[in-house]
Amino acid sequence: MTLFRSRLFPDIVLNLSLPENISLQTSGGYRQLSSGGVRGIIVYRIDASTYAAYERNCSFRPNEACATVDVHSSGLFMIDSCCGSSFNFVDGSPTGGPAWRPLNRYRTQLSGSNLTITDEVIN
């Protein structure tokens, strides 16, 4: 018997050599995607071979209409302006506000200049 897992979203493949992904060519660069996840995904480059893809749906009261995480204007952390929770880029852990759970982090795989983001949660 084969069991099929329902998918949250289809794989997202980003060609890192395209102009819209130029910010992901340097460590500390990020890009917010409106597709994937529940409310979109934030992709962050940790180093030359490591990328993190975080759910934009806040982990504190995720069913609220405004529970959407964005990158702070400083580019140093992620924040949900609705509840005031902030999250780090290292592992998506909360660093302030009422949230106590980290953001969901999706599996990423780098192959050449293509970064694939799957719906597999790895935290």
Which domains does the chain possess? 12-121 (2.102.10.10)
Residue 17 burial by Cβ neighbours in a 10 Å radius (0-12, 13-18, 19+): exposed
pLDDT above 80 (res 92): yes
Diameter of the chain measured on Cα atoms: 51
The whole model's pTM is what? 0.92
pLDDT above 90 (res 119): yes
Tens-place pLDDT, residues 19-55? 999 999 999 999 999 999 999 999 999 999 999 999 9
